[in-house]
A and B are shown apart, each in its own frame.
Chain A
Amino acid sequence: MKDFDIFVLPFNTGLYFILIYCVVRCVIWFRQLSRADKLRLQRGFFGRAFGQSLKEIFMESLIHRRILKSKPVLGYMHMSLAFGWFLLILFGTIEADIFGAKHLNPPYRAIFFRFFNPDHGTTGLTRIWSFWMDLLLAFILSGLLLAVIKRFIPGVVGMKKTTRHKPADRIALTALWLIFPSRLLAESFTCGAHGSGSFLTGTTGAWLASFLPAETLAYPFWWLYSLSLGVFFILLPVTRYMHIPTELFLIFMRNSGISTGDKTGTFSEVQIHSCSSCGMCIDACQMNFVTGIRYMQPVYLHRSIRNDEDITEIAHDCLMCGRCEEVCPVGIEISAVRMIQRRNKTGEPLVKNNWMGYFRNRNNVGSEKSDTGQVYNLRNGREVKQADVIYFAGCMTHLTPGIKEAMMKIFRASGEKVWFMDEEGGACCGRPLMLAGNDREARELINYNSEIIRKSGAKTLVTSCPICYNVFRDSYYLEAEVMHHTEYLKHLIDDGNLRFNYSGRKVVYHDPCELGRIAGIYDAPREVLSWVADLHEIPEREEKGLCCGGSLGNLILNPSKKAAIASDAVKRLTRNNPEMIVTSCPLCKKTFSQVSHVKVSDIAEVTADEIAAVQVRKPRRPASVSLKVMVKQLLE
């Protein structure tokens, strides 16, 4: 029995190369982490994060639970390749250890076990083991078959569009595709020559041996198997398959509490490399399925960053609605990664590839503008009124005065001491500047507004615009509690300060991106609406909510395409012929109003119209009423 054969060299070279490469890369990444993140990672390693990560790696990287849930066939494809290959390696190693010539073998002995033990698997326990190994190979091959079909007909696995790949990716893809069929043939020929093997390799082998010289043909296929493995491993760092090792690191970092932040760094780089280019973001993107724009989705953004390409346009041509982030099976913080690229105003890439793309250098890109001091001449010392509640309408609400008037009516009915902070105009919350990457200028506005809010002594800040809401909540340091008016309305209802006529009108609710996916407020608007109207839901709701198309996040997309996105969204919203589309964002309202034949209203307008002295007619038990409210009503 042979111990070694020259054909294992390509595999050995590739394997040791990729192992050393991964260690080196991880060390580089670790060294580039900030001190705080290094500490987090250390704490994570000895804490709960470690266990959590192992569980997540098993569930997501191997089983692909998230994809399985949304697209079962696609999930099966990924699972069979990842989990199947993992099991094949695991059981292959055990097989070599138990049944091989000696214990603790070099890896090639496990991978090419059949070559070195051609007669194995003909008796007793070994027979069952061989059956199991064949089953695993069949499992992988079934996934591979799906992958090949998907490349040509994406619809088979439930996808409308699949990712367009680059030459290096194609070579690696071919190598990957060759690995398992060549293993099948190599094993079959060997088995055929030796009369061994189980239901797959044994049967195929016997059949092939019946009309072919199996012994002679086996050897070239073992070479092919080894070569395809070697090529795959060597190309792995410069292709999308880098996601396989990187994702493990990503999961561990994420569980340790590391987040993307606003500058390029290890974590954003790890995320970019963790993108498997699966293309699920393409299907989720309204710019794709409404306007047919297919170059700026996250999969292409990440790839272009990896490939050192100019990404200025890709980074900016996006509605920032976050639908892609919801479907991303890897859980990449896509919007944060994109924002890092937007903040870079110099046009220089933030990271440059060297060593043919195997390693990357972070460029120290300075900010474009030198510090010119204050940019805005904001009037200080403007009149501040003392109040319990401050209302900040924001620029978009000023452009939709219907919402503003409704809020005034609600405030009057609430009996609370309210000051309308920007009634006669005020400074912007800062978001448009931040979205354009001008954070320093935004900070001036933030400081100015913070000072006014602090001086007023208010305990609550109410905004009508979800954008302002997110900025006040996340980018300001305020003592006042920030509430969007949907939450404020719910709070007034819960406290018994506001009662309504139940109109029974059939309405559909549109989740604005900023209030829904970004702020995570789904229940408050539904509960408030259920007191005044008959709420009907559509499948594209909550996390799957649609972008209205009016996003401030995209200054490239032309208005007719934005209108097309709005029309498509309205079409989906009005599928069940509601009397009205209700939303809770002035921008969504304004955008939809331009294209909708159905009335579009803000939740504030709908409720303000129905304010009553006593609650008239109890609404039908709405499906979305929280447990808290139900308990409260039972107690009454």
Chain B
Amino acid sequence: MNSMVDVLVIGGGVAGMEAAGQLARSGYSVILAEKEPLTGGHLKNWYHLFPDRRDGNEVGEYLDNLVKNKNIEIRNNTCITGITGRKGKFTATASDGQVVEAEAVIVATGFDLFDSRRKEEYGYGIYPNVITSADLEKMFRNGSVKLADGGVPARIGFIHCVGSRDEKVGNLYCSKLCCITAVKQAMEVHEKISGVKTFCFYMDMRMGGAYYEEIYREAQEKYGVSFIRGKVSEVSQGYNGRLVIKAEDTLAGRPLRMELDMVVLMAGMEMSDAGEILAGKSSLRRGENRFFSTADNHTASNRSNMKGVFYAGTCTAPMNITESISHARAAVTEVVSYLREKKQRDE
């Protein structure tokens, strides 16, 4: 199958859908390639969004409506593995052999969640009551937070920075949204289970967003979430089957052992595998943090080193949904002016 469109958008998550939708509204023909059977990306897995805790599905519906446009052809199960070509004409190939030709490309390959099994000391995949933040969202969505044996947890610990700010796993950067996610999830746990005790183990609380600090305060004042500054060194299982964590309370300056029923790992964001594959089969450059590197941090954060190929969303750095949508719209303005200039040159 060979088709020529104005713009190819690689990745049907938040950024990709927003970019495709906005381009279509301006009259450009778009192919939206998504490697999964459904669009929506990670958003599909999130229950409530911070900071206002609205249902994630609401944003999902907005995006679904946005891409329902005759100018957009959505190609699901299409994993783009390489881009070749020069300004004005790009050829993208998919893993199943499809070829897409486009005048411009938006790369919106997004992120993958850090595989928490790589921090084996936290016991993910070994102890059933060690779960990730994504697993907890799933539990929220299903309506109940339960232990593996069906019991109700009385004490839950949240471990921040799993796979972020960690030299040992090779990720020096901050994933930006795990702190606020932990605050949100701790509050929600309190709402689902009365009398539960929650503990957040953090390195720094990075509450740099609108209304973040407010809900951090609410978590402490209204729900009594305990915030302990110090990284957890290891999780093990005691005689009674409960989890035992070892940590250090760096404010009190002493080591700490604590029994918990459930441990939630706040998994960070990493360059997605799909992005890695694409980078390997194109000349797109990546930074030391393995995300795609933009042409200019401040003034061209949507441009890549290939003229006519643009970036949108978390394939360049960790971002929340608000930022991903803004970044995608910014990418659209770049694409539109690029295509206009090209048209003028061609005439």
Given contacts A399-B121, A400-B121, A424-B244, whether A560 and B170 have CB atoms under 8 Å apart is: yes
Q: Which of B59-67, B91-99, B103-111, B231-239 contacts A (4 or more CB under 8 A)?
A: B231-239
B118, B167, B246: the one contacting A593 at CB < 8 Å is B118
Whether the Cβ atoms of A405 and B126 lie closer than 8 Å is yes
Distance in angstroms from B333 CB to nearest chain A CB is 37
The chain B residue sitting closest to A560, CB to CB, is B170
Decide if A496 is an interface residue (CB 8 Å cutoff).
Answer: no
Report chain B residues within 8 Å CB of A400: 120-121
Decide if A590 is an interface residue (CB 8 Å cutoff).
Answer: yes
Decide if B230 is an interface residue (CB 8 Å cutoff).
Answer: no
Docked CA distance A402–B238 (Å)? 15
Whether the Cβ atoms of B121 and A398 lie closer than 8 Å is yes
Whether the Cβ atoms of A559 and B167 lie closer than 8 Å is yes
Report chain B residues within 8 Å CB of A425: 246, 257
Whether the Cβ atoms of A401 and B170 lie closer than 8 Å is no
Given contacts A424-B238, A593-B120, whether A401 and B127 have CB atoms under 8 Å apart is: yes
- Greatest chain B CB density within 10 A among A401, A402, A559 is at A401
A399, A560, A595: the one contacting B234 at CB < 8 Å is A399
Given contacts A559-B170, A560-B170, A594-B169, whether A398 and B234 have CB atoms under 8 Å apart is: yes
Distance in angstroms from A376 CB to nearest chain B CB is 13
Docked CA distance A563–B234 (Å)? 22
Report chain B residues within 8 Å CB of A594: 118, 168-170
Report chain B residues within 8 Å CB of A517: none
Decide if A303 is an interface residue (CB 8 Å cutoff).
Answer: no
Whether the Cβ atoms of A590 and B170 lie closer than 8 Å is no
Report chain B residues within 8 Å CB of A563: 170
Whether the Cβ atoms of A398 and B118 lie closer than 8 Å is no
Docked CA distance A593–B116 (Å)? 11
Decide if A120 is an interface residue (CB 8 Å cutoff).
Answer: no
Given contacts A424-B244, A594-B168, whether A398 and B236 have CB atoms under 8 Å apart is: yes
Interface residues on B, range: 20 to 34
Chain A, 467-515, CB within 8 A of any chain B CB: none
Given contacts A425-B246, A560-B170, A563-B170, whether A401 and B123 have CB atoms under 8 Å apart is: yes
Docked CA distance A563–B125 (Å)? 24
Report the interface size for chain A: residues with CB under 8 A from the other chain: 17
The chain A residue sitting closest to B125, CB to CB, is A402
Report chain A residues within 8 Å CB of B244: 424
Report chain B residues within 8 Å CB of A404: 236
- Greatest chain B CB density within 10 A among A399, A402, A404, A563 is at A399
Report chain A residues within 8 Å CB of B235: 401
Report chain A residues within 8 Å CB of B257: 425
The chain B residue sitting closest to A402, CB to CB, is B126
Given contacts A424-B238, A425-B246, whether A401 and B121 have CB atoms under 8 Å apart is: yes
Chain B, 164-190, CB within 8 A of any chain A CB: 167-170
Distance in angstroms from A495 CB to nearest chain B CB is 29
Report chain A residues within 8 Å CB of B237: 401
Docked CA distance A559–B125 (Å)? 25
Docked CA distance A44–B124 (Å)? 59
Given contacts A399-B234, A404-B236, whether A590 and B167 have CB atoms under 8 Å apart is: no
Given contacts A560-B170, A594-B170, whether A402 and B121 have CB atoms under 8 Å apart is: no
Distance in angstroms from A555 CB to nearest chain B CB is 13
The chain B residue sitting closest to A399, CB to CB, is B121
Distance in angstroms from B207 CB to nearest chain A CB is 28
Distance in angstroms from B314 CB to nearest chain A CB is 22
Docked CA distance A560–B125 (Å)? 26
Report chain A residues within 8 Å CB of B236: 398, 401, 404
Chain A 375-418 against B: per-residue CB contact (8 Å), 1 yes, 0 no?
00000000000000000000000111110110000000000000
Distance in angstroms from B203 CB to nearest chain A CB is 17
- Greatest chain A CB density within 10 A among B118, B121, B123, B236 is at B236
Chain A, 211-228, CB within 8 A of any chain B CB: none
Report chain B residues within 8 Å CB of A424: 238, 244
Whether the Cβ atoms of A402 and B120 lie closer than 8 Å is yes
Report chain B residues within 8 Å CB of A401: 120-121, 123, 126-127, 234-237
Report chain B residues within 8 Å CB of A559: 167-168, 170
Report chain A residues within 8 Å CB of B127: 401
Docked CA distance A593–B169 (Å)? 9
Docked CA distance A398–B246 (Å)? 11
Chain A, 547-597, CB within 8 A of any chain B CB: 559-560, 563, 589-590, 593-595
Docked CA distance A399–B126 (Å)? 12
Docked CA distance A399–B233 (Å)? 8
Distance in angstroms from A274 CB to nearest chain B CB is 39
Chain B, 194-247, CB within 8 A of any chain A CB: 233-238, 244, 246
Report chain A residues within 8 Å CB of B123: 401
Chain B 9-44 against A: per-residue CB contact (8 Å), 1 yes, 0 no?
000000000000000000000000000000000000
Report chain A residues within 8 Å CB of B120: 399-402, 589-590, 593
The chain A residue sitting closest to B167, CB to CB, is A559
Report chain B residues within 8 Å CB of A593: 117-118, 120
Docked CA distance A456–B246 (Å)? 26
Distance in angstroms from A566 CB to nearest chain B CB is 10
Docked CA distance A404–B169 (Å)? 21
The chain B residue sitting closest to A563, CB to CB, is B170
Docked CA distance A538–B125 (Å)? 30
Distance in angstroms from A615 CB to nearest chain B CB is 27
Report chain A residues within 8 Å CB of B121: 398-401
Chain A 131-144 against B: per-residue CB contact (8 Å), 1 yes, 0 no?
00000000000000
Distance in angstroms from B332 CB to nearest chain A CB is 36
The chain A residue sitting closest to B246, CB to CB, is A425
Report chain A residues within 8 Å CB of B167: 559
Docked CA distance A424–B237 (Å)? 9
Provide a sorted-by-A list of 11 A–B residue pairs whose CB atoms are within 8 angstroms: A398-B236, A399-B234, A401-B121, A401-B123, A401-B235, A402-B120, A404-B236, A405-B126, A424-B238, A425-B257, A590-B120
**Which 7 residue pairs are nearest across A and B when measured between Cβ atoms?**
A399-B121, A559-B167, A401-B123, A400-B120, A401-B126, A398-B234, A402-B126
Given A402-B126, A559-B168, A560-B170, 12 additional A-B pairs, CB 8 A = A398-B121, A398-B234, A401-B234, A424-B244, A425-B246, A425-B257, A589-B120, A593-B118, A593-B120, A594-B118, A594-B168, A594-B170
